[in-house]
Structure 1
Amino acid sequence: MISALNHLVDLVEAHLAGPVETHLAGEPRVGERPGGEFDVESVAGRHGTTEYHLRRMFSSLAGMPLSEYVRRRRMTLAAADVVRGEDDLLTIAVRYGYGSTEAFGRAFRAVHGAGPGEVRRDGGPLRSQPQLRFRLTVEGNTRMDTRIVDRPAFRLVGHATRVPLIHHGVNPHIQQHIAALPAAEHQRLKALSDTEPAGILQVSDDLAPDDPEGSELTYLHGVAVAATGTAPDDLDVIEVPAGRWAVFRTAGPYPQALQATWAATAAEWFPSNPWRLRPGPSIVAVVERAADFSTATCELWLPVEPG
């Protein structure tokens, strides 16, 4: 995995100048001269993994999605050209894949906090993104209490909403969603649970493998039921196909211990084990907790396949 990530970084570096492809949302993507986006899937395939897993591992270990890293690196190189002053801004914009100085200026300001004209005049401010290099540090300082579970198809039923992704601390949007449910509703959901993962579940779904913090995801507060079971009409349903799951058990301050374990899956567990992530929801089952939720024992369920 480490070699795949470094190969990906090398390809990004080789193609920073050139046309910018766009997502449906209009975000710059990795460019390749003379045109088009280089194929992340082929990079993953050469290293015996999948594009989904490679993007998830890049995002987890780099602390930013691949698309954001590319944008920062592209604007780091562009800033040097702007400060040198040898070319006009339109020439620089085209060099880095933008069709107009306006589009280039917006991307430039988003990274540096100032427009290219201001930076050319004042020499800054500049916020440089160094080239990443991934290295495996063998520490094993986070105890990973893990089991692999082969589960038939099941359904997640409950109350769903759209919330922004927040990596650290309590997500207030999720808190508000749960607090709005009456106490009797929690008891109704518990009564519906009839399969693993057991009990009330915190489910995150519909998130792309390298979406940045702040991106919207579907959060479902609910339970797991057998695929053959029926759900009340007033509840939301997520269909989960059969497959394997890595289940990580963690205990301690909530949510800090859970978030530390989540980070350690990318930094320590996946690089050391023959499994990779596959598309699907991430599920947290709260096994037991303090009355004020200051501490909790949780199980983190991640969908996996042989690596």
Structure 2
Amino acid sequence: MIGTLNRLVDLVERDTAGDLDVAAWARSLGTTEHHLRRMFSSLAGMPLSEYVRRRRMTLAAADVVRGERDLLGIAVDHGYGSTEAFARAFRAVHGAGPSEVRRNGGPLRAQPRLSFQLTVRGADPMDVRVVDRPAFRLVGHAARVPLVHEGANPRIAEHVAAIPAAEHQRLKALSGTEPKGLLSVSDDLDPDRAEGTELTHLHGVAVEAGASVPGDLDVLEVPAGTWAVFRSSGPHPAALQETWAATATEWFPSNPWRLRPGPEVVAVLERADDFSTATCELWLPVEPA
């Protein structure tokens, strides 16, 4: 995976003006767009689309400062059809327009070229199992919420708190297959996992594919497939979020699996009364790499 990401960086450097055809890039690198975007954003700390934007504007800034060509020519070279559109994108990255930078030499906010390197990790073994599951259904109460990378997600907390206690018990009684118990489901995530982008959060349970469910519940149909199931234990949600991050930085780079599209599911196995600590299972849909 490290080599694949470095080849992707090479492609970004060679194509400074074209459309971001990540699907074609992924195919040429022998992987999938879904997995490539997730691994890039997890390891780089920024979405792939943001890195491309910053990197292209860094290279464009060098052309602007050199002053050898007019701004329209530079704009066209970097994929913009007008100086106005180029100036807006330039200002969004550097905080100043190209004309100002040409006069004053700055300010500039350069994005260095990324280089991914293998770091020896794994002193603490990860608790994971890989399971094949037939098709099943996720049923419960769904809401659109923003993605939060660290700490509690207030919108999810509000959504779950608004569900009556009796409804939690009704959902528990419906649970009929793995993942067991009440579940926190993330679906329809932004491909780049950008902070603040919206996803569908479902608070509910898993039932067999053919099970009938009350008509007032939201339903996600989950096809048959393979899942990597990671266990985390400790302060909540910090321990779970650390495990989520470690799947990208440690497990996927060293195992012959990649992410496939599908919901990402958290099952809470045990928790303190105040939810300060918890033991959870993180279910991620995977396929052979």
Secondary structure at 1:264 match in 2: helix
CA contact (8 A) 1:4 1:43 kept: no
Q: Which amino acid in the other structure matches residue 15 of structure 2?
A: H
Give the superposition deviation at 1:155: 0.3
Q: Which residue of 2 aligns with 1:26?
A: none
Contact 1:152 1:241 in 2 (8 A): yes
Which whole-Å CA distance do the structure 1 matches of 2:103 and 2:235 have between them? 50
Q: Could you tell me how far 1:38 is from its partner in structure 2?
A: 8.3
- The alignment status of 1:245 with 2:230, answered yes or no, reads no
Identity %: 74
Instruction: Give the TM-score taking structure 1 as reference length.
Output: 0.90
Distance 2:124 2:28 in 1: 30
**1:141 aligned partner:** 123
Corresponding position of 1:66: 48
CA distance in 2, matches of 1:5, 1:124: 31
Q: CA deviation at 1:250?
A: 0.4
Aligned to 1:270: 252
- Distance (whole Å) between structure 2 residues aligned to residue 114 and residue 99 of structure 1: 20
Match of 2:96 among 105, 110, 114: 114
Q: Secondary structure at the match of 2:58?
A: helix
Which residue of the partner structure matches residue 15 of structure 2?
Answer: 15
TM-score by length of 2: 0.95
Long gaps (5+) in structure 2:
none
The one-letter code sitting in structure 2 at the alignment partner of 1:202 is S
**Residue in structure 2 matched with residue 255 of structure 1 by the alignment:** 237
| Residues 249, 300 of structure 1: 8 Å contact kept | yes
Tell me how large the CA RMSD over aligned residues is. Answer: 1.5
Q: Secondary structure at the match of 1:55?
A: helix
Match of 2:25 in 1: 40
The aligned counterpart of 1:228 is: 210
Q: How many residues align?
A: 289
Deviations 1:198-219 (A, max 9, x none): 1110100112432422211111
CA deviation after TM superposition for structure 1 residue 87, in Å: 2.2
- Which secondary structure does the structure 1 equivalent of 2:29 belong to? helix
Consecutive aligned runs of 4 or more in structure 1 exceeding 4 Å deviation? none
CA distance in 2, matches of 1:154, 1:254: 28
What is the CA-CA distance between 1:90 and the residue it aligns to? 1.6
